[in-house]
């Protein structure tokens, strides 16, 4: 049974504040519906047939505008695969998907056996590495989309302990450099898998032999757009060594302090503070921790002469002086010192990234860099999640005109590329998968509530657009309407 609410009335076609339905909105919502598995949303039905950690966070941020229930379920499904030590694995595998559909597959990671000492769940197969901690930010935004539903279902009460354990794992187990920042132990953990920022530390890694792994990705994408076999062999070697070490932290030959990963952790600490306050606890300590993370970012990774945050190679003991988009993401932090903000804006809009002049969207890597390639995975193409974060950071620091231009470019490119996984930063031509989950989801977020979105990116329910027929509206007990399934529904994986 559905509520008779404004949401239900707009679903019948009234439009957002009387506006006609938006075809781009409908197309984006259709992508999320097509990628929905019953408990989560795959980023791509072909290339990524399981649930990916930071994808689900970004997808939930978009889903909240269409179905807050599905958005909550998305995060609850992911957190249901959390390990005992607090880590949220970067992949939750769908047992219904054939092993040869994706590599590395569950039989490579062996989470339930190799991860037993770290508390890997016995009933769910996962990877053993992690991805950027966007989850608390996503949970807070999902709650704000429909606080009544969230409170009636006890959503924040359920997710808060898991999110707190996740942050505790990162802060306590991953400060491998001893300077208060989290280290990633595999390029896949940072999310920007094939970035040139990893080339120097990866060069120390002996690659796995080409006959020891099988690349399922090349069946769905052009080889020229994907990582090379040499790089892939190094990724596999790092993952094998981590697995064979029972997923214990501290011994990896690859350990990098990354500005984006740590900025997202700080932003999520701020969000976790807001969640704590909503639950009746004090958020002061978490806000303070977020500000300490911000200060550590500036102290350890900021280069004032370059006007850029650079990664730090913990094992090599030196900055990695490559201009990756990761170094711009700290713009999302409210406590970033004003001189740093001004210098970072000059870098973002200058020749290295060309934001607002010369490119449609900010590239993933330096336009002037030796390794720049506008089509190869994370070595130059523009991605929607990183540009969404930059748009958010621009608004946060009062750069509303620049944010508006970036938002318009994101929406135009998303529609023209059929919600591509990533695009050529100059032309906007789509690359990788089409109908990609977070591209569609973040399109919905950018469309919804403008210009009402505040500095936290929150939009009130009164700004919501017409809902598609699949957006289940729960009754007061939390049961879903048409086609919706609650968090106890069957588990199927999502992807990327």
Catalytic residues: 193, 421
Q: Are strands 382-383 and 318-320 parallel, antiparallel or unpaired?
A: unpaired
Is 196 in contact with 323 (CB distance < 8 Å)? no
Sort 371 into a burial class: Cβ within 10 Å, 0-12 / 13-18 / 19+. middle
* Beta-ladder partners of 183: 257
CA distance 419 to 438: 9
Which of 385-410 are b and which e, b meaning 16 or more Cβ less than 10 Å from the residue's Cβ?
Answer: bbbbbbbbbbbbbebeebbebbbebb
Pairwise CA distance, residues 299 & 293, whole Å: 10
Host H or E run for residue 341: helix 338-349
Give the C-alpha separation, 358 to 296, whole Å: 33
429 to 46, 417, 422, 434: CA distances (angstroms): 20, 6, 9, 11
Helix axes 135-145 and 53-63, enclosed angle (nearest 10)? 20
CB 52 within 8 Å of CB 496: yes
Given its phi and psi angles, is residue 218 left (phi above 0), alpha (psi -120 to 50 degrees) or beta? Answer: alpha
């Amino acid at each position: 049974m559905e509520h008779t609410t404004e949401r239900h009335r707009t679903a019948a076609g009234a439009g957002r504040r009387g506006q006609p339905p938006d075809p781009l909105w409908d197309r984006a919502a259709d992508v999320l519906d097509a990628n929905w598995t019953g408990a989560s949303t795959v980023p791509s039905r072909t290339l990524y047939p399981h649930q990916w950690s930071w994808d689900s966070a970004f997808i939930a941020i978009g889903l909240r505008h269409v179905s807050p229930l599905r958005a909550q379920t998305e995060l609850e499904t992911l957190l249901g695969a959390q390990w005992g030590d607090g880590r949220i694995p970067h992949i939750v595998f769908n047992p219904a998907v054939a092993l040869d559909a994706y590599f590395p597959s569950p039989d490579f990671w062996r989470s339930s056996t190799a991860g037993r000492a770290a508390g890997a769940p016995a009933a769910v197969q996962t990877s053993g590495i992690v991805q950027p901690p966007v989850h608390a930010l996503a949970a807070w935004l999902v709650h704000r989309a429909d606080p009544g539903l969230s409170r009636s279902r006890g959503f924040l009460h359920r997710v808060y302990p898991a999110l707190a354990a996740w942050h505790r794992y990162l802060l306590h187990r991953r400060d491998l450099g001893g300077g208060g920042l989290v280290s990633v132990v595999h390029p896949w953990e940072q999310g920007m898998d094939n970035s040139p920022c990893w080339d120097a530390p990866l060069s120390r890694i002996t690659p796995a032999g080409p006959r020891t792994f099988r690349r399922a990705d090349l069946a769905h994408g052009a080889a020229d757009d994907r990582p090379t076999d040499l790089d892939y062999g190094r990724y596999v070697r790092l993952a094998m060594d981590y697995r064979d070490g029972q997923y214990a932290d501290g011994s990896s030959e690859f350990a990098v302090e990354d500005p984006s990963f740590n900025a997202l952790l700080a932003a999520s600490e701020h969000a976790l503070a807001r969640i704590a306050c909503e639950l009746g606890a004090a958020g002061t300590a978490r806000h303070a921790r977020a500000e300490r993370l911000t200060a550590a970012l500036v102290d350890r990774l900021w280069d004032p002469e370059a006007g850029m945050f650079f990664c730090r190679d913990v094992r090599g003991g030196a900055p990695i002086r490559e201009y990756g988009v990761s170094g711009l993401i700290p713009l999302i932090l409210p406590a970033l010192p004003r001189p740093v903000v001004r210098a970072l804006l000059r870098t973002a809009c200058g020749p290295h990234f060309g934001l607002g002049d010369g490119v449609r969207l900010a590239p993933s890597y330096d336009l002037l860099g030796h390794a720049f390639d506008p089509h190869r995975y994370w070595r130059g193409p523009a991605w929607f999640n990183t540009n969404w974060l930059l748009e958010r950071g621009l608004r946060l620091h009062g750069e509303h005109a620049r944010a508006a231009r970036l938002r318009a470019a994101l929406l135009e490119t998303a529609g023209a590329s059929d919600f591509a996984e990533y695009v050529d930063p100059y032309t906007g031509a789509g690359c990788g998968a089409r109908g990609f989950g977070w591209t569609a989801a973040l399109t919905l977020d950018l469309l919804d509530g403008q210009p009402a979105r505040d500095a936290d990116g929150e939009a009130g329910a009164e700004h919501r657009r017409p809902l598609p027929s699949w957006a289940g509206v729960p009754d007061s007990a939390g049961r879903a309407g048409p086609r919706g399934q609650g968090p106890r529904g069957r588990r199927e994986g999502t992807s990327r």
